[in-house]
């Protein structure tokens, strides 16, 4: 993140590209190869501003130092540091005693920050997506490494502690996370604090999820949910990076309570990234439910080609998957070929304050000589009317052609309409109302699926939400933390 800004001035220079340096005093050595600048030093390049009190640059080695206070501003980034050194040929910059922020998405500080082309390392510091002047929620680590080119899990930490209100609540030897992809990413209610609620369908309910890491390339989570009508559902998910690939394992167990329905599911997968950007994936999926419910096994091999961009307008994510589906409860088994794709358009603004996007996902399943196909599509629109009032709409449309003998693969024609409005009453309080209506199999009128009224109170790094579901006489509370 930060390196994009600083490198534009100190790192991304070519050997023949001069630096335009402004200062109160500038001197050169006799051979003109050593530059000394002091007093209100200012360098601007490619929209990035660098300011410091003194600069030393050896043009022969293309190495130099900055004496603070140092300020770097570029695009959404702003960083202050006590001092810095850099190597233009190695494309490395080293800052000491720094603090900065990335627009309104994240802030960070530490003893040392080393910026390279492919990795940034932060020593003895903290990061948080909470933008309060004194954040009560921080992720503190002995060392953080950020990989800006990685599509996911781009933050790795060693000696990590979760610091809340100045106290370390949780410490981990290693930590992995995905950060900085979208504005407003947060740990959801169950990642740090359990959610509680009640509705007429599930009864009393609570859920939480604990994320963990047991090695630099290892990460996992333990999700747990309890409802008084269904019982417990718990599991463990784990992923291990091995070279250019990743091994994923997941086990989930559902214990019967009032319904007497329980079961187990096991997922094993290996994903291998190829040089052309595509991926190979081998899966073994086993799921079983008690009392005559579906029992199936799905070993398959998948090829996920690299994303295709058509004129910068449509992104195509193709998928080719072949395997064997065995469903014991229905007595059906067959080879299974799946061809699918997801087509996305970028978000565009037809009018000021409006945002809209389209998505379509056609798919085909082929069982020996029996085809089964369909597609889903969605159109999303969002309007900002000013003064904290926003509205959004979504229209979803699904169609299925042919038949499948498997309960696991069964899908239905569906149309769904989603509507929502939100109102920010102040910087601390906002209210949202959302609802969805659907129709199945092209028959009958649209029926109400859900209506939710949410009120959230935000302070410092936290938010407390009260969610009402009047259709099912339900209420939930969520405590969220503004962390990635």
Residues 176-207: pLDDT tens digits? 776 654 433 333 334 556 788 888 878 888 88
Q: Return the minimum-mean-pLDDT range out of 76-90, 284-298, 456-470.
A: 284-298
Q: Return the minimum-mean-pLDDT range out of 43-47, 183-187, 253-257, 445-449.
A: 183-187
Q: Each residue of 66-111: pLDDT tens digit? A: 998 999 887 777 889 999 998 878 778 899 999 988 777 778 899 9
- Kindly tell me if the per-residue pLDDT of 484 is higher than 50: no
Q: For the residues 272-284, what does the mean pLDDT come to?
A: 86
pLDDT of residue 430: 92
pLDDT of residue 311: 81
pLDDT of residue 227: 87
- Kindly tell me if the per-residue pLDDT of 157 is higher than 60: yes
The answer as to whether 7 is a domain residue is yes
Confidence (pTM):
0.70
Q: Return the minimum-mean-pLDDT range out of 28-37, 307-316, 382-391.
A: 28-37
Distance CA 213, CA 177 (A): 10
pLDDT of residue 232: 86
Confidence of residue 13 (pLDDT cuts 50, 70, 90): very low
For 6, the domain range is 2-177
In sequence order, which residues have a C-beta less than 8 Å from that of residue 6 and are 6 or more positions away?
48, 50, 72, 74, 79, 93, 95, 115
The answer as to whether 330 is a domain residue is no
> If you average pLDDT over every residue of the chain, what do you get?
82
Q: Return the minimum-mean-pLDDT range out of 260-264, 302-306, 373-377, 390-394.
A: 260-264
Please tell me the total count of domains within the chain: 1
pLDDT of residue 284: 86
The answer as to whether 90 is a domain residue is yes
- Kindly tell me if the per-residue pLDDT of 453 is higher than 90: yes
pLDDT of residue 39: 93
pLDDT of residue 80: 92
pLDDT of residue 482: 64
The answer as to whether 150 is a domain residue is yes
The answer as to whether 77 is a domain residue is yes
pLDDT of residue 176: 72
User: CA-based diameter of the chain, in Å?
Assistant: 89
Structure tokens at 205: 């309910």
Residue whose C-alpha is closest to residue 376's, from 401, 348, 354, 350: 401
Confidence of residue 15 (pLDDT cuts 50, 70, 90): very low
The answer as to whether 479 is a domain residue is no
Q: Using CB atoms within 10 Å of the CB of residue 85, give its burial: 0 to 12 exposed, 13 to 18 middle, 19+ buried.
A: middle
The answer as to whether 37 is a domain residue is yes
In sequence order, which residues have a C-beta less than 8 Å from that of residue 107 and are 6 or more positions away?
99, 100, 101, 127, 128, 130, 131, 135
Confidence of residue 11 (pLDDT cuts 50, 70, 90): very low
The answer as to whether 452 is a domain residue is no
Q: For the residues 42-58, what does the mean pLDDT come to?
A: 84
Distance CA 401, CA 392 (A): 31
What number of other Cβ atoms are within 10 A of residue 207's Cβ? 19
Q: Each residue of 338-371: pLDDT tens digit? A: 999 999 998 888 888 888 989 999 999 888 767 8
In sequence order, which residues have a C-beta less than 8 Å from that of residue 233 and are 6 or more positions away?
223, 224, 225, 226, 252, 253, 254, 255
DSSP 6-49: HIIIIIS--TTPPP-EE-SEEEE-TTS-EEEEEEEEEEEETTEE
- Percent of the chain past pLDDT 70, that is, above it, reads 86
pLDDT of residue 173: 84
pLDDT of residue 274: 84
Distance CA 142, CA 140 (A): 7
Confidence of residue 305 (pLDDT cuts 50, 70, 90): very high
Look up tokens 């945002």; give the residue. 355
The CATH number given to whatever domain includes residue 14 is 2.60.450.10
């Amino acid at each position: 993140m930060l390196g994009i800004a600083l490198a534009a001035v100190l790192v991304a220079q070519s050997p023949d590209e001069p630096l335009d340096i402004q200062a109160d005093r500038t001197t050169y050595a006799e051979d003109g190869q050593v530059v000394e600048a002091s007093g209100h030093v200012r360098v601007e390049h490619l929209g990035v501003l660098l300011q410091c009190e003194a600069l030393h640059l050896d043009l022969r080695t293309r190495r130099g130092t900055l004496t603070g206070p140092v300020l770097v501003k570029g695009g959404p980034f702003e960083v202050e540091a006590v001092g810095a050194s850099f190597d233009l040929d190695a494309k490395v910059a080293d800052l000491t005693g720094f603090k900065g922020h990335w627009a309104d998405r994240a802030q960070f500080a530490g003893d040392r920050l080393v910026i390279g082309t492919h990795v940034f390392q932060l020593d003895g510091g903290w990061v948080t997506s909470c933008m309060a002047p004194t954040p009560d929620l921080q992720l503190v680590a002995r060392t953080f490494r950020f990989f800006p080119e990685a599509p996911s899990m781009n933050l790795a930490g060693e000696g990590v502690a979760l610091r809340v209100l100045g106290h370390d609540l949780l410490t981990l030897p290693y930590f992995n996370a995905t950060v900085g992809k979208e504005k407003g990413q947060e740990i959801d209610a169950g990642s740090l604090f359990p959610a509680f609620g009640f509705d007429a369908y599930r009864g009393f309910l609570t859920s939480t999820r604990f994320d963990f890491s047991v090695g630099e390339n290892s990460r996992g989570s333990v999700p747990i949910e309890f409802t008084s009508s269904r019982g417990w559902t718990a599991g463990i998910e784990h992923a291990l990076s091995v070279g250019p690939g990743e091994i994923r394992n997941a086990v989930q167990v559902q214990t019967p309570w009032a319904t007497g329905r329980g079961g187990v599911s096991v997922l094993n997968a290996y994903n291998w990234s190829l040089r052309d950007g595509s991926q190979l994936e081998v899966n073994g999926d086993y799921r079983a439910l008690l009392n005559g419910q579906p029992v199936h096994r799905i070993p398959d091999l998948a090829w996920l080609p690299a994303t295709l961009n058509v004129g910068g307008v449509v992104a195509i994510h193709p998928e080719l998957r072949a395997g064997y589906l065995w469903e014991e409860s229905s007595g059906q088994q067959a080879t299974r070929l799946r061809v699918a794709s997801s087509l996305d358009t970028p978000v565009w603004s037809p009018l000021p304050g409006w945002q809209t996007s389209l998505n379509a996902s056609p798919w085909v399943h082929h069982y020996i000589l029996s085809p089964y196909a369909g597609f889903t599509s969605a159109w999303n629109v969002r309007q900002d009317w000013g003064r904290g009032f926003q509205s959004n709409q979504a229209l979803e449309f699904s169609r299925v052609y042919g038949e499948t003998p498997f309960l696991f693969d069964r899908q239905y024609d569906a149309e769904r309409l989603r509507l929502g409005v939100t109102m920010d009453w102040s910087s601390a309080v906002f209210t949202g109302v959302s609802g969805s209506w659907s129709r199945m199999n092209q028959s009958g009128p649209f029926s109400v699926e859900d209506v939710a009224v949410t009120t959230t109170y935000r302070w410092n790094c936290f938010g407390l939400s009260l969610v009402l579901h009047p259709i099912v006489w339900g209420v939930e509370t969520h405590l969220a933390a503004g962390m990635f």
